[in-house]
Amino acid sequence: MRLIYKRGKTVKPNKLQFFKKNTMKRLLTTLLFVMFLKLCIAQSISGTYQTEWGEMILQQSGNQVTGTYKHNNGVIKGTLNGRTLVGTWSQSNGKGKVVFEFNDDFSSFTGRWNYNDDEPTKTGWSGKKKLSVNLNLSGTFSTEWGEMYLQQSGNQVTGTYKHNNGVIKGTLNGRTLVGTWSQSNGKGKFKFEFNDDFSAFTGKWDYNDAEPSKDGWNGKKK
- Report the 10 Å Cβ neighbour count for 182: 14
Specify the pLDDT at position 174.
Answer: 82
pLDDT in tens, 100-132: 999 998 999 999 999 999 999 999 999 998 865
User: pTM higher than 0.75, yes or no?
Assistant: no
Give the pLDDT of the chain (222 residues) as one tens digit per residue: 454 444 555 545 555 565 556 666 676 766 655 454 444 444 678 888 999 999 999 988 899 999 999 899 999 999 999 999 999 999 999 999 999 999 998 999 999 999 999 999 999 999 998 865 557 899 999 999 999 999 999 889 999 999 999 999 999 988 899 999 999 999 999 999 999 889 999 999 999 999 999 999 999 999
Q: CA nearest 219: which of 185, 177, 174? A: 177
CB 122 within 8 A of CB 62: no
